[in-house]
Structure 1
Amino acid sequence: MAHTKIFRNGHSQAVRIPAELAFKNWEMELVIERHGDELHIRPAQRRMGNILGKFAGFSSDFMAKGRGDNQEDEREAI
């Protein structure tokens, strides 16, 4: 856990993010959400990582037979 302080930047409050917690990319938008007394900071758009590489790892016959026998139970009417 790292400790830091808030400071004034113009008419806004600002917080210094310690180097060990800093984001690697400086050119990104962040979302700040308040949850009670806590502020949660996260990237505005989450990256999907190497999703195309993961898809490429599937065999050519993946799901060739479909999902198989997938019967759903009857539900009570609403």
Structure 2
Amino acid sequence: MGKFEIAPARAKLFTHRGGQAVQLPEGFAFEGAEVALRRQGNAVILEPLPVKPPRTRAELEAMFARIDAEGGADFPDRDQPPMQERDFDW
């Protein structure tokens, strides 16, 4: 490893119910209870699962409450051109 390279983070492995589990270090946690899993060469890639759309009004309201609690949606400002004047001779 070169002088300025940062060592990769390490995780503990343990056996649980016949499978192998990974204890992720702080800063690598995922939200939710499951992740997508795939192999790429010798690497095993963990990725967050896509967020399922809310199915009920209560789930929708909970989603908006979470967004509001986090400071709201962060949409960039748009430079919207003015509406065009149209002359319809009907």
Task: Please report the TM-score for the alignment, with normalisation by the length of structure 2.
Answer: 0.47
Q: Distance in 1 between matches of 2:34 and 2:40?
A: 20
Relative contact order higher in (CA < 8 Å, ≥ 6 apart): 1
- The unaligned stretches of length 5 or more in structure 1 are 65-78
- Aligned CA-pair RMSD: 2.8
Q: Distance in 2 between matches of 1:42 and 1:58?
A: 35
Q: Distance in 2 between matches of 1:9 and 1:18?
A: 18
Q: Distance in 2 between matches of 1:58 and 1:20?
A: 37
Say whether the 8 Å CA contact 1:7–1:13 is kept in structure 2: yes
Task: Please report the TM-score for the alignment, with normalisation by the length of structure 1.
Answer: 0.53
Q: Which runs of 4+ in 1 moved over 6 A?
A: none
Spell out the pairing of 1:1-78 with structure 2 (5 A cutoff). Answer: 1-23=8-30, 25=31, 27-45=32-50, 50=73, 53-54=75-76, 57=78, 59=80, 61=82
Q: Structure 1 vs Structure 2: percent identity of aligned residues?
A: 23
